[in-house]
């Protein structure tokens, strides 16, 4: 009789805990990782504390899945939004994908070749460049401080889904592509590189798929970010937190602004919103 009562109490506590569960999405560069691409100790500890409390912790990034495998392992995170919302995984299982239009991508590539603007095709496993080498590719990929570098394969788009393409061109020159290629959105992430995603594709699109599946109400949805590709995410989610090192346009749409990633901004922000 006593054991049955205790089990009921424990079960009720578990149900209450699940009812209070929140979901928190973190961008990577400039948010989880500092400018040296290092994970601050305070951030790692904060993430594990959230997980111990029963919250769902996820990543929302413009990066490819293969670009942050080690980070996912280090933080024990199995739910993530890659390619700015085009490849969505929930608890290790692919939940949703949104590939680029191949005919439109080929036309984009043709125009880019004329302008000496290389492109890199990316699927969920790897990436390949349409030219053997280019200074823009070296400069921007090097800034990510990752082991992967795109080999040359101009036909990589064939017989596979391409979820994001990198267009390498100086700032402002993407405007000519935006005017012509209406199937795509162009999101700058580096002085000589833009993410090319399907029109309307964004981190928020991927997040919506996850929160709908999890059934967590909007009042318990949080996101942290710093870059231009975080604007829609932070403006649409109920609790949007911009990093202190973030772009001014990002801070303008966020509900909260925390300290910079170099100043334990994740820990400070989680305390600010009442999660820690």
Residues 6+ apart with CB under 8 A from 191: 140, 170, 171
The answer for residues whose C-beta is within 8 angstroms of residue 74's C-beta and 6 or more apart is: 39, 44
3-class DSSP string for 114-146: HCCCCEEEECCCCEEECCCCCHHHHHHHHHCCC
Tokens matching residue 189:
């992430």
First to last CA, the chain: 37
Question: Is 27 in the active site?
Answer: yes
State the angle between helix axes of 265-272 and 41-52 in degrees (0 to 180), rounded to the nearest 10.
Answer: 40
- Please give the structure tokens belonging to residue 26: 């973190």
Burial class (CB in 10 A: 0-12, 13-18, 19+), 151: exposed
DSSP-derived pairing of the beta strands 80-82 and 151-152: unpaired
| Gap between the Cα atoms of 71 and 150, Å rounded | 20
Residues annotated as catalytic (active site), given as ranges: 27
């Amino acid at each position: 009789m006593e054991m049955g009562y205790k089990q009921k109490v424990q079960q009720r506590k578990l149900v209450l805990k699940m009812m209070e569960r929140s979901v928190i999405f973190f961008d990577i560069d400039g948010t989880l990782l500092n400018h040296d691409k290092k994970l601050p100790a305070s951030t790692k500890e904060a993430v594990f504390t959230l997980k111990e409390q029963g919250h769902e912790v996820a990543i929302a990034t413009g990066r490819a899945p293969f670009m942050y495998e080690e980070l996912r392992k280090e933080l024990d995170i199995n739910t993530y939004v890659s390619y700015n919302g085009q490849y969505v995984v929930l608890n290790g299982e692919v939940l949703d994908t949104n590939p680029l239009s191949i005919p439109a991508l080929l036309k984009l590539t043709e125009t880019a070749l004329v302008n000496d603007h290389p492109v890199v095709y990316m699927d969920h496993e790897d990436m390949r460049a349409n030219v053997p080498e280019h200074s823009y590719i070296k400069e921007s990929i090097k800034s990510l401080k990752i082991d992967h570098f795109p080999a040359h394969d101009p036909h990589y788009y064939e017989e596979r889904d391409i979820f994001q393409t990198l267009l390498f061109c100086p700032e402002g020159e993407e405007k000519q592509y935006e005017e012509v290629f209406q199937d795509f959105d162009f999101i700058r992430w580096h002085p000589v590189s833009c993410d090319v995603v399907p029109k309307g594709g964004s981190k928020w699109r991927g997040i919506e798929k996850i929160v709908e599946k999890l059934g967590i109400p909007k009042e318990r949805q949080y996101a942290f970010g710093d870059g231009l590709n975080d604007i829609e995410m932070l403006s649409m989610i109920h609790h949007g937190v911009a990093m202190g090192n973030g772009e001014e346009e990002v801070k303008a749409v966020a509900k909260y602004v925390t300290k910079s990633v170099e100043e334990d901004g994740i820990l400070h922000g989680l305390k600010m919103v009442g999660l820690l």
